[in-house]
Chain A
Amino acid sequence: MEKKDMYDQIDRFLLDALERIEPPHGSKENTLILINVRLQRLRRNKLWSFVSLGLASFVALVYSTWFLIIEWKGMETSHYLKLIFTDTATVLENFYNWLLLMGESLPFTGLLMVISVSTILSIVVWKLDELMNTPEGIIFQELAKGGKA
């Protein structure tokens, strides 16, 4: 017997023998329930992490703002601004000192600001991505593309 003929026989046999298996009765409904439970758990976890991250970024923002205010006061910038209109000679004299003070505080305050702003931005982007996957978000995307919702 030719090898090709033999494989043709096996092909026919396997095509006949390997039919799709029917899932047991009720398994379809049960699996859907389990998927729903998992999705609800996932949504709850996402909500918790969103709330915790939002709270943490709020605390960071309050702290960095408070720190900036203290620094601002320490630098006596408001006093310096007043002097611009009253005593130009003193302004020029103090300008160098003011620049040094600003330079000294920049690394720390800058870092705090970057962390706060990037945390807030990442939350906004993440939340937007979430919202875009909701039915309203999909309608919004369609409208933005110029199509009909």
Chain B
Amino acid sequence: MPSKNSGPPSGNEGEPLPPELAELERLLTQRAPAGPPAGLRPRVLAAVRDGLAVQRKAARRRSPWLLAGQLAAALLLCLNFALCLEARGDASPVGVDEKHVAAVAAELSRLEPGMSEGEARRMALLVCAAPPAPAPDGGLPPDAVFDALRGALWGTH
């Protein structure tokens, strides 16, 4: 039994083998049988053909169920989407003060009488959802700015 420390391992890809091992390697290579028997090729290819046929049959059996599953998943998605749209409707977003929205919508309707009730509500929701605009003049409170603007636009002052 050779020692594990008897030098680096080698074969015909590393260091050359010592002559006696190289001769043994040559004998081992020569002793190998020439090739598989002629009957093995048709036997193996027949087994391959059978395996592929089984796979194709299984795929055909599976495909109607796969199609049905995909259709069911698509239907569920559509249904879910439709239900979501219906549920949203004109419902107020969470956290919005409904009284404030109604007041803004009323004010908008008053200022623009041609605006439909639904449109006024949608605009009011947008107004309420938007972050408060920075005051144009830091020295004036927002109400004072609004009064000044109203006076300038409609001459109420």
Does B bind A? no
Interface residues of chain B, those whose CB is within 8 Å of chain A, are: none
Interface residues of chain A, those whose CB is within 8 Å of chain B, are: none
